[in-house]
Amino acid sequence: MRTALLGAAALLALTAAAPASGPGAVVHIRDDHFIPASITVKAGDKVTFINDDDDAHTATADNASWDSEGLSQGQKWDHAFMKAGKIAYHCTVHPMMHGTIVVTAASHAMSAK
């Protein structure tokens, strides 16, 4: 149990603190979580979703405006976010997995929370 608790704590820390930097942001899909769970990017930026799990996952907008479709372990999928706004997304294979992309006007800096 102690190992499990430590693992959960580490996962939460990673979820909260993982930076999103570079030419595009990266969201890892790991242990049935989107990491970071919430990410802020500038309009026009690309976000890369990478499935680190052995299980299949998707990154699918709740409003169905974009969908990675099925990603197996090690597969990546990119999507450029052109319009400012907040978009919720989930994994269709694991509906308890949720994430958020916040797209700001192009002049805002990129950050994660």
Partner 1 sequence: MKRRDFVGHVAWTGAGLLYVLGAEGIVRATADAAPSSFGFVQISDSHIGYTGPANGDVHGTLAKTVADINAMPAQPAFVIHTGDVTHLSKATEFDDARAILSTLRAPLITIPGEHDVIGVEGPKRYAAAFARKEAAGRGWSAWDQGGIHFVALINVGEGETMGMLGDEQLSWLANDLSARKPDTPVVVFGHVPLFAAAPEWGWTTSDGSKAIALLRRFKAVTVLNGHIHQVLEHQDGAIRFATARATAFPQAAPGTPGAKPGPLKVAPESLLGVLGYRTVEVAGRAAWQDRTLAEG
Q: According to the binding rule CB under 8 A, does residue 4 interact with partner 1?
A: yes
Among positions 73, 78, 85, 86, the unique one binding partner 1 when judged by CB under 8 A? 73
Q: Over the chain, what HEC string results?
A: CHHHHHHHHHHHHHHHHCCCCCCCEEEEEECCEEECCEEEEECCCEEEEEECCCCCECCEECCCCCECCCECCCCEEEEECCCCEEEEEECCCCCCCEEEEEEECCCCCCEEC
Write out the binding residues for partner 1, residues 14-33 only, by CB under 8 A: 31-32
d(CA 3, CA 20): 28
Q: According to the binding rule CB under 8 A, does residue 105 interact with partner 1?
A: no
Among positions 72, 78, 86, 88, the unique one binding partner 1 when judged by CB under 8 A? 72
Per-residue contact string for residues 30-69; x = within reach of partner 1 by CB under 8 A? -xx--------------------xxxx-x--------x-x
Q: According to the binding rule CB under 8 A, does residue 94 interact with partner 1?
A: yes
Site residues (vs partner 1, CB under 8 A)? 1, 3-4, 7, 31-32, 53-56, 58, 67, 69-73, 90, 92-96
